[in-house]
Structure 1
């Protein structure tokens, strides 16, 4: 069976986003973790058309245990797992992992299964009924990442991330985004 992740050699430890969590994060990290709009659009506002997407993994597989629990998926259900690197002029900015159950793909009229090199944010933020259900945060140590992910993201220190449950027409998906040092320079 193929690996569940290009990015991780084990599942990250996520913390529920509670009242007061925001103030425990560095200010430049808060700015990205609590961004209410599309991260892709924010990057485009800064870099213009230089934003690119490198697909690291895209396959049908069973998500990690906490991802299945969060999305209330049966243990044997496959979802589309997509991991990408968003970059500008080859400068790594954000690593992302998305879990899209089949029912969500169906309600989105298969747009989410055929993203190619388009950023997910461009697509999901175009849905008028997109809902943000909940969010968790994590500080992920280098030992959690795979060696190829460390190389792709130039990771040499702990990286902050957020994972968000979104719903399109009440069908959920999970988007995890990890903020590399290159993006934290943009405030």
Structure 2
């Protein structure tokens, strides 16, 4: 796999994705709105579904990805703790969530992290006064990106497009930093269409 395909071009403003979101007018504007929403994705989804659930795919030590280490401020070959989940609304997978943090900060700065299980991470991040958040970054992940390969492996029965939109940001607590990436799955479009119809 060429190294360039393992990295995404992360952008500092959702408008930078405008040329990639050119079709389907109002729905694409809604996609940008969802990408840029500074609130909790968990709460946003819960407000739009009868049955919200989290499927834990993995939570274990791993190697940091090629497009993550600079943003997280760690060496390129760092070992980190990874957590991958899929958020479901009414049984449909709508968001793939990926969290990464330094192994040294799990117990000291994020004591709840190891006990999350199928509990959404946002339930802790957005209600802890000690937690700060960096500006959101945006990207369009291509099929060769490691997170895209994980999505395909976790959802073998789903038709996954060649590219998916994603956002990420850093959360800090005391001296520890973790990065949360949300990848929008195809079924999320139905919730965004519902938003458009309700406007």
The interval holding the TM-score normalised by the smaller chain is 0.7 to 0.9
Change beyond 3 A, Cα 1:153–1:92: farther
Distance of 2:144 and 2:175 partners within structure 1: 36
Deviates further, 161-170 or 148-157: 148-157
1:30 aligns with 2:32: yes
Relative to the length of structure 1, the TM-score reads: 0.82
Match of 1:148 among 136, 148, 153: 153
Distance of 1:32 and 1:97 partners within structure 2: 17
- For structure 1, the 5+ residue unaligned runs are 1-9
1:133 aligns with 2:128: no
Counterpart in 1 of 2:94? 93
Counterpart in 2 of 1:163? 168
Distance of 1:84 and 1:128 partners within structure 2: 24
Distance of 1:114 and 1:152 partners within structure 2: 30
The structure whose Rg is larger is: 2
Counterpart in 1 of 2:177? 172
Matches within 5 A, 1:77-92: 77-92=78-93
Kept after mapping to 2: 8 A contact 1:98/1:175: yes
Question: Following TM superposition, by how much is the alpha carbon of 1:153 offset from its aligned partner in structure 2, in angstroms?
Answer: 5.4
Distance of 1:46 and 1:19 partners within structure 2: 23
- For structure 2, the 5+ residue unaligned runs are 22-27
Relative to the length of structure 2, the TM-score reads: 0.77
Question: Following TM superposition, by how much is the alpha carbon of 1:44 offset from its aligned partner in structure 2, in angstroms?
Answer: 1.1
Counterpart in 2 of 1:6? none
Distance of 2:44 and 2:176 partners within structure 1: 25
Cα-to-partner distance string for 1:42-74 (whole Å, 9 max, x where unaligned):
1111114x1111112221012113211111113
Question: Following TM superposition, by how much is the alpha carbon of 1:36 offset from its aligned partner in structure 2, in angstroms?
Answer: 1.2
**Count of residue pairs brought into register by the alignment:** 177
SS at the partner of 1:185? helix
